A and B are shown apart, each in its own frame.
Chain A
Amino acid sequence: MGMLGFYLRKLITIFKGEVLVLPSRIVVFLFFLVLLLLPVVSQDPYLLRILILASIFAILAASWDLLSGFTGQMNFGHALFFGVGAYSSALLNLHVHIPPWGSIPLGALAAVLAGLIIGIPCLRLRGTYLALTTLAFPIILMGIVFAIPGITGGELGVSGLSRLSSSRLYDYYITVVLMLGLCTIMWKITDSNTGIIFHAIREDELAVRTSGINVTRYKLLAFSLSGFFAGISGGLYAHFMRIAGPSTLEVSMSFTVVIWAVFGGIVTIYGPVGAVFILFPLLEFFRFWPEFRMLMFAVVILLILLYMPNGILPWVRDKIEKECPRCKIRNVATRKTCRVCTASLD
């Protein structure tokens, strides 16, 4: 009992000292709390459905950020990973009868393979060439999907998959917990040494190579990691919708991912996740005027980018927090002195 009390007090101290001091950390904490406790308040199936889809797409957008934001390998064909994940878990589930908990990771491995296959030719390309080449891959795959309707179902897709779980509430918890877990893992990856190397590759590839780092290996690692996470989200999507169709490979799918990530702010991981949770429900809200829905979506994005070209969440974060000029630790914007080194903040 004494031990338990000790750890509890320690936890509260850490919580007070590390979480409550910064508004951004409070927001992240509330985000976790609200998502996990929401079903206690409301179990409206429509609301749960929106949040499930938002979670699935949040994984996808964050995985784009891991590859394109951090490593700077502009990938315009992220739908490839999503589609490969969705189609492989669908086919595995339907023909080999592997339940979702097995078919989703296997689908993600297929997406890793796709990442390696497209990563190797893309190693020699950079910048705009890379962006425009990667755009081609999902379109090629889509042509193949349409050309062999016997296996892939052509335009109708593969349908009749088994459910993710027995009820909407379990679906919700599976996707939300997976999303929170995977996004934390991605955030941790970008914070680790590997993440620093990814960062460095984006800033100056030549300098990284001169420092004796095998750039090729790290680029391929970024492609496979991103493919893995995107593949998981594709598999989840297929099992939640119970269909894997060609819409998962569409060009607009690739573009939407880029829109989410850039809107939320790239090179952050939390940006794309936040952006999906802002834009996806917003799009649902606009359904009251169905004919204006996409137009409003486009206009909102244009206007926000005009004033916050670095993305909305970094902009908000810079408004409510200041960085200490001496020790580079972030502080609430209302403070006059740094909370660690007491240097003046202005």
Chain B
Amino acid sequence: MIADIIISGLINGSVYALLAIGFSLIFGAARIVNLAHTAFYMLASYCIYYATHRLGVHPIPAMLVAIVLVTLIGLICYKLFIDPIREHEAAVLIATIALAMAMQEIMLLIFTGDYLSVPALVRGYLKIFGVKIAYQQLLTFGVALLILAGVWALLKKTRVGLAIRSTAQDREVANLMGMNESRVAMMTMGVSVGLAAFAGAVVVPLKVVDPHMWMYPLIMMMAVVVLGGLGSLKGSFAGAYILGFAESLVVFLIPLGAFLKGSVALSIMIIVLLIRPEGLFGIAFEEER
């Protein structure tokens, strides 16, 4: 029981962290609230399903291809639909919702609404204190941590990361310092969609693939981002694990918990916001005018 809670909390937390960091990056660097973020996660899962089941490709190359392909699709969607209306905040919100809906409908047309699944990469399980832990779960958790470390290194150690962080702090000044603001936005979009695709790729063997699978993670991801403070990577990380554990505690401990898991996680978010309106690690910015 306790081991179950810990394992599912860690895995949910890592997936939310991957999603939330991508979402928070593109919000920070380009002020785009990309509600289609988790739709890319769904798209990656479907790509992997298609490659492994219909084409018979080995799962690992399938995952790599899926990540590259989804990142490309994300960039094309950005160029076509989001970039031209970036200045109109409300229009961007609607455009991204419409984009997500369009993707959901296309997947529904191609694959129908059936629940699909992808086999685990590695079979077998480990026994710790008499509790079975599948290798796949450990692998998912490990890879997610590796990617998070990679993103951290990209942001803190490279020139691209510096550009992204400085654009997030102040777009105009970053532009004056010679950073091509629209190219930085494009790059950030690539990284962000890539992260979403990666989250989809690592978690697909543990989840059921269906066209509506983007809705619930979207809500949790936004809760994580708000809880941790918009634009704060540390915050997204902490928030993701807090909500991931809260969710698995509710599912395992409360009867009818599966219905209440979202409610409890979101209530935690609201309580935190009541005490700290800028989130756990967010900085209270001066009002942007």
A302 touches B226 (CB 8 A): no
Question: Total A-B pairs in contact (CB under 8 Å)?
Answer: 128
B220-233 Cβ-contact flags toward A at 8 Å (1 or 0)? 00110110001000
Is A291 close to B, CB under 8 A?
yes
Q: Which of B98, B266, B273 contacts A301 (CB 8 A)?
A: B98
| A306 with B81: CB separation less than 8 A | yes
Q: A128-B230, A309-B88 are in contact. Are A298 and B102 (CB under 8 A)?
A: yes
A126–B230 alpha-carbon span in the complex (Å): 12
Instruction: For the complex, give the distance between the alpha carbons of A102 and B102 in Å.
Output: 41
A339 to B47 CA separation, bound complex (whole angstroms): 61
Do the beta carbons of B222 and A132 come within 8 Å of each other? yes
A262 to B270, CA, bound (A): 27
**B105–A298 contact, CB under 8 A?**
yes
- Give A300's nearest chain B residue, CB to CB: B98
Check if B94 sits within 8 Å of A259, measured CB to CB. Answer: yes
Is B95 within 8 A of A302, CB to CB? yes
Per the bound structure, the CA–CA distance linking A310 and B85 in Å amounts to 10
- Interface size (A, Cβ < 8 Å)? 45
The answer to whether A329 has its CB under 8 Å from any CB of chain B is no
Query: Which range contains the number of B residues in contact with the other chain?
Result: 35 or more
A135 touches B97 (CB 8 A): no
Would you call A301 and B263 a contact (CB within 8 A)?
Answer: no
Contacts of A206 in B (CB 8 A): 287, 289
> A121 to nearest B CB, angstroms?
5
Say yes or no: A140-B109 contact (C-beta < 8 A), given A129-B273, A133-B270, A259-B98.
Answer: no
A254 to B14, CA, bound (A): 28
Q: Which residues of A contact B287 (CB under 8 A)?
A: 126, 205-206
Is A1 part of the contact surface with B, judged by Cβ < 8 Å?
Answer: no
Kindly state whether residue B269 has any CB partner on chain A within 8 Å.
yes
Tell me if A132 and B225 are in contact (CB < 8 A): yes
- CB contacts under 8 Å to B, within A243-285, are 251-252, 255, 258-259, 262-263, 266
Instruction: Kindly identify which residue among A143, A295, A301 contacts B109, using a CB–CB cutoff of 8 Å.
Output: A295
A132 to B215, CA, bound (A): 14
Q: Which of A147, A295, A297, A309 meets B85, CB within 8 Å? A: A309
Residue from A124, A292, A299, A309 whose CB has the most chain B CB atoms within 10 Å:
A309
Give the distance in Å from the alpha carbon of A140 to the alpha carbon of B88 in the complex.
30
Q: Which chain A residue lies CB-closest to B35? A: A255
Q: Which residue of B lies closest to A299 (CB)?
A: B102
Stretch at the interface among B123-131, B159-167, B254-262: B254-262
CA distance A306 to B93 in the complex (A): 13
Contact indicator B106/A129 (Cβ below 8 Å): no
Q: Does A346 contact B (CB under 8 A)?
A: no
Check A258–B93 contact: CB distance below 8 A.
yes
Not counting A258-B90, A294-B101, a sample of 13 additional A-B residue pairs whose C-beta atoms are within 8 angstroms of each other reads A128-B33, A133-B269, A140-B262, A143-B264, A204-B289, A258-B93, A262-B93, A291-B109, A295-B102, A298-B105, A301-B94, A302-B99, A309-B88
